Amino acid sequence: MATAASRTTNPLLLALIVVVVAQVVGARRGDAPWARGFKVYLVLGLIVIGVRVGFRVVLDGQYGAHVLFTLPQAPLPAFVHGVRIGGPVSAEGVLGAAYDGLRLATLLICVGAANVLADPRRLLKAVPPALHEAGVAVTVALTVAPQLIESGQRVRRTRRLRGESSRRFALVRTVLLPVLMDALDRSLLLAAAMDAKGYGHTNTIERSQRVTTAALMLGGLGGICCGVYGLLDGTAPRALGVPMLVAGAALAWTGLVVGGRRVRRSRYRPDPWRGPEWIVAATGVAVAAVFVITSSVDASGLIPSLQPLRWPELPVLPALAVGLGLLPAWLAPPVQRIGVVTRAAPAMANAM
């Protein structure tokens, strides 16, 4: 969905993507602490749109003939020629900034939905052995924003129970510091727990094997990045597209196989990969593929016209592709509740 949002500035398609993502989050959100922060990402998206439009109005708001109003223009020295503060603001400039801000906000909401729906502990178990150490660091980094959101909500509830007013100027002392301290304490507890469980421990290997694995992984990841950029950017050479992506994937796979031999770790109750998981993955790939192909063949429906100024139209094929994103709301694996007893619990109780 984020790939689809990156290929269009059509506000109708972007709003449809946000609605679909919100529906999936509402249907498949669990009761874990990190699953309660989707509203915060929606608010951040609105802030991004406001900041983008505000900068465009103040710095360079004239982008067409339909002038809405005129701001006082500040004189600037000659060495900043081309930069303007104030002046006339046109409807085309405001709409262009709003379209770009909405696209960036949609990308942020898609990433926020991934953080809300994904269990970082289950994600860590799915990381290949060669990327186990890096996976631990990435998993901890991904939990920073949900932990801050959870800490903020807990501090807010505590202040309400104490009868403290929310319109207080000492927000740094009463809200920000407790939130940061709580998130830091939780991070330290997580690091101590992971250290006690042996995360990050590796076997002794030779320097040549370590250098070979690192070179293969870095080369493969660099090739994948170039290949993805070549596919997403319509102006890039064809050699940076599929050929670079295939070569990078081959190098990365070789590095994973070679590097996986030096890591020996066990998995407790590994997550199976069955039909629902394949359906969710195929849905995302299908949505991204439709938008990439449509932008390569005819991008007129994905990029609304600003000069001349026209009302954006909803293209049928991309809209149907976004509609496929609703399938995980019903076909995704069932949500694992924290308070629900698993199937193994009765068997263990009977055995005892």
Lowest model confidence (mean pLDDT) among 46-50, 93-97, 118-122, 262-266: 262-266
Question: Which pLDDT value is given to residue 228?
Answer: 79
- Helix (H) or strand (E) holding 85, with range, is strand 85-90
Least confident of 84-93, 105-114, 222-231, 253-262: 253-262
pTM of the model: 0.69
- In the chain, where are the structural domains located? 1-119+320-337, 127-202
Residues 246-255 have a mean pLDDT of 82
User: What is the CB-side half-sphere exposure of residue 278 using CA atoms within 13 A?
Assistant: 4
Question: Highest mean pLDDT: which of 106-110, 169-173, 174-178, 216-220?
Answer: 106-110
Residue 265 main-chain phi, psi, to 5 deg:
-145, 150
β-strand partners of 90:
67
Query: Partners of 67 in the beta sheet?
Result: 90
Q: 10: Cβ–Cβ under 8 A, 6 or more apart, which residues? A: 99, 301, 302, 303, 304, 312, 314, 315
Phi, psi of 168 (to 5 degrees): -115, 140
pLDDT tens, position by position, 295-352: 888 888 888 888 888 888 888 999 999 999 999 988 888 776 655 444 434 443 344 4
In terms of Cα–Cα distance, which of 43, 48, 45, 44 is closest to 97? Answer: 48
Q: What's the distance, CA 150 to chain centroid? A: 18
Q: Give 156-184 pLDDT, tens digit per residue.
A: 777 778 776 655 555 556 667 777 777 77
pLDDT of residue 252: 80
